[in-house]
Amino acid sequence: MTDEKIIQMDMGTLTGDVCDNRPALCLGIESSCDETSAALVDSNRNILAHIIYSQIPEHQKYGGVVPELAARAHILAIDAVVNQTLARAGKNIDDIDVVAATAGPGLIGGVLVGWMAATGIAQSAGKPLIAVNHLEGHALVPRLRATLADGTDAPRGVEFPYLLMLASGGHCQILLVRGVGQYELVGQTLDDSAGEAFDKVAKMLGLGYPGGPIVDARAQQGNPKAFRFPRPLCDKPGCDFSFSGIKTAARTFLERAEMPLTEKYINDFCASFQAAVVDCITNRLENALKDERVRHGAPQTLVVAGGVAKNSAIRAAMEKMAIKNNMIFAAPPMNLCTDNGAMIAWAGLENYAVGKVVHEPIAPRPRWPLTEL
Ligand code: KG4
Ligand code: ZN
């Protein structure tokens, strides 16, 4: 669709997070990778309904996400996912105050499906529209719901500023989150993301897709000292990551291994690989805490978000690190770590509260760094 074909919307006068003395209600849509998801979230942090349609079974036989198949699956699912979300909450389009959707970064075919659906709904119902950066969805969702180290929920979500380890299938960054739209990049991966490393190692071992949860479960039964994986960059200053060396080491170990691999070999391999990833993350975060910008920003909370935030060993290591540094540790609940519509609805509400609505046609973006917000 060309920009000219997108009809300019009347955004009305709604701003702020409260409409007529009641909480603002946002419909959020996510479709940037292999989940078609929608959620209704209000500005009092209630999740009224949330549906995540995962395409994982459709991609599993290819060992990863196939972009064309993903886009097609989003097209087939999007209407049902949105309609069922509304039905579950007993709401209709008129009850919504604002519509938000992922406008990038991600697989562009899928992003377009969700974005065009949201644009259509917003235009036809005369509602404000928010273009959410997918990474911002991950970065802000701990403010919607966060589980603290003691297992209780942070009553009002995490407060700004916080130091964020954002680790997903597509990204691996350390960010100082100062406020909505205020993200300072402290470190990032120079090659693969952490999630990619988990997925690739699982693929090498023939464990299936997505690899993260499988490697995590296997690692819990293995010996983390059985294999000596490298810890790239850990002897260097700075906060950047590199996971390609760990992946190469994995391949080299496997070339020398006796086939078929035993269960013990696989478990030990996963435990040793995961220990290397955890060491890299803690090493880089330790440096981040000493970084001048971070010290100046004085974050009180250490947060992990993104799909890899589900990892038990990463959560445990970061919790330990938070205690050592007199910080609070927080992470989103498990179902809000991997891609979901609730994080997009919440980021939509946070942007709506600061008046960041779409006033002109925009083109969804396959690449959209958080620092450009
Ligand atoms: O955030 P997400 O759903 O998608 C992207 O935005 O990329 O993250 C998906 C990634 C996958 O690479 C998956 O293997 C990883 O999160 N993941 C995990 C775990 N659960 C999911 N990685 C490590 N340990 C886990 N338990
Ligand atoms: Zn994601």
Per-residue pLDDT of 238-261, as tens digits, reads 999 999 999 999 999 999 999 999
Residue 292's Cβ-count burial label (10 Å; 0-12, 13-18, 19+) is exposed
Centre of ligand 2 to C-alpha 335, Å, is: 12
Per-residue pLDDT of 272-313, as tens digits, reads 999 999 999 999 999 999 999 999 999 999 999 999 999 999
Q: What is the best residue among 310, 315, 336, 368 to mutate for testing ligand 1's pocket, by most ligand atoms within 8 Å of CB? A: 310
Residue type, 364: P
Per-residue pLDDT of 133-180, as tens digits, reads 999 999 999 999 999 988 888 888 999 999 999 999 999 999 999 999
Q: Which helix (H) or strand (E) holds 232?
A: none
In sequence order, which residues have a C-beta less than 8 Å from that of residue 215 and are 6 or more positions away? Answer: 198, 201, 202, 207, 270, 273, 274
pLDDT at 15 over 50: no
Smallest-distance ligand from the CA of 136: 2
Q: How many CA atoms lie within 13 A of 201 on its CB side?
A: 36
Q: Is the CB of 168 under 6 A from ligand 1?
A: yes
pTM for this model (two decimals): 0.94
Smallest-distance ligand from the CA of 170: 1
| Confidence band, pLDDT 50/70/90 cuts, at residue 40 | very high
Residue-level pLDDT at 149: 86
| Confidence band, pLDDT 50/70/90 cuts, at residue 199 | very high
In sequence order, which residues have a C-beta less than 8 Å from that of residue 248 and are 6 or more positions away? Answer: none
Indicate if the alpha-carbon torsion angle 301, 304, 310, 316 is positive or negative.
negative
Residue-level pLDDT at 19: 58
Per-residue pLDDT of 16-36, as tens digits, reads 445 567 899 999 999 999 999
CA 318 – CA 303 distance, rounded (Å): 8
Cis, peptide link before residue 105, omega less than 30° from 0: yes
Identify the residue whose C-alpha is closest to ligand 1 atom 7.
169
Per-residue pLDDT of 42-51, as tens digits, reads 999 999 999 9
Ligand 1, residue 306: give the atom nearest the CA: 1
Q: Is the CB of 311 under 6 A from ligand 1?
A: yes
Strand ordering across the sheet containing 147-148: 147-148, 328-331, 301-305, 162-167, 172-179, 182-188
Ligand 1, residue 196: give the atom nearest the CA: 12
Residue-level pLDDT at 151: 86
How far is CA 10 from its chain centroid?
A: 31
Identify the residue whose C-alpha is closest to ligand 1 atom 5.
169
Smallest-distance ligand from the CA of 337: 1
Centre of ligand 2 to C-alpha 259, Å, is: 35
Q: Is the CB of 170 under 6 A from ligand 1?
A: yes
Per-residue pLDDT of 82-127, as tens digits, reads 999 999 999 999 999 999 999 999 999 999 999 999 999 999 999 9
Read off φ and ψ for residue 316, nearest 5 degrees: -65, -45
Q: What is the best residue among 135, 280, 308 to mutate for testing ligand 1's pocket, by most ligand atoms within 8 Å of CB? A: 308
Paired strand residues for 25: 42
Residue-level pLDDT at 309: 98
Residue-level pLDDT at 61: 87
> Largest Cα–Cα distance in the chain?
68
| Confidence band, pLDDT 50/70/90 cuts, at residue 4 | very low
